[in-house]
Amino acid sequence: MKVLANDGISKSGILALEKGGFEVITTKVAQEQVANYINENNVSVILVRSATKVRKDIIDACPGIKIIGRGGVGMDNIDVDYAKSKGIHVINTPASSSESVAELVFAHLLSGVRFLHDSNRNMPLEGDTKFNDLKKAYGNGTELRGKTLGIVGIGRIGQATAKMALGLGMKVIAADSFIPSVDVKVEFFDGQSVTTTIVPQSLESLFKEADFISFHVPAQNGYILTEKEFATMKDGVGIVNCARGGVINEVDLVKALDSGKVAFAGLDVFENEPTPATQLLMHPKISLTPHIGAATGEAQDRIGTELASQIISLLS
């Protein structure tokens, strides 16, 4: 059987699939050509990340598809229920990239509180002529320890983020409509651990209480964060979104940054990917990454081998 990994797959995943008797194709096929390619090459499994979309049109056009796999968590680029109604298995890897995304959240948080994103823009330009001016401009940073991190969505990635926050000495609060409480276990290198229970509260109270807010929710039909919600927050709040574009109203975010209501933002995802708004890309208070939350070597290895294991189990 043939597997089309249209958005790529790790070498370890390829080796595991080949060992299981599958032929793996890593040719990048344009979205509009995916259905034709699947049919012409008798592909049984299509694997995607966030770039390729597997909608009803492809599902209807490709009766030979047996499995649709998503390397990662969110499956908003796949018509999951429709695929399942056609007898197609839909799989993903919800646990494989949690720590990678959580670490990126803290990369943005640490960058924001110490102005690293802006300093790294200006030091190459003016570090040799205005060193003392830059030192003064970036010399009033903020520590994370002792501050309150509000996590919107306390699923796997939210919990991984909570563990890191607790390890840094932060207070963690959460909002989640589906999880009544969660035990978060912080494990140390020597085998010891500490467990704490987080009981989610209302989104409204989280916005009022948090010093920093991180989003870990699937794609939404509407914004969670708009001008109305910004108004209820503490002055100087920090916002990080490594979840999905469209969670935050970006126009309102820029206004809140310009007014000082929001001290900084860290964005890994955008409403208009892959062409984010220029006012975001150029804003001095925004730390930017191009949707790389799960893009570590370790995470991609875990994703590849987990997908391979599920495919082999289902089809062999």
Q: What crossing angle do the helices spanning 156-167 and 98-113 adopt, rounded to 10°?
A: 50
Closest to 13 in 3D by CA, of 298, 294, 293, 316: 298
Residue 297's φ and ψ, nearest 5 degrees, are -60, -40
Q: Write the DSSP assignment of 291-313 as a string of letters.
A: S-TT-SHHHHHHHHHHHHHHHHH
Cα separations in angstroms, 159 against 56, 92, 156, 162, 248: 33, 19, 5, 5, 21
Cα separations in angstroms, 240 against 62, 80, 188: 39, 28, 26
Instruction: With beta carbons less than 8 A apart as the criterion, state whether 149 and 168 touch.
Output: no
Nearest-angstrom CA–CA distance, 313 and 61: 26
In terms of DSSP bridges, do strands 89-92 and 171-175 run parallel, antiparallel, or are they unpaired? unpaired
Token pair of 191, please?
Answer: 């085998």
Active centre residues (catalytic): 244, 273, 291
Nearest-angstrom CA–CA distance, 149 and 171: 6
> For tokens 């040719």, what's the residue?
27
DSSP annotation of 234 reads P
Token pair of 266, please?
Answer: 């860290």
Instruction: With beta carbons less than 8 A apart as the criterion, state whether 299 and 9 touch.
Output: no
> For tokens 């059987």, what's the residue?
1
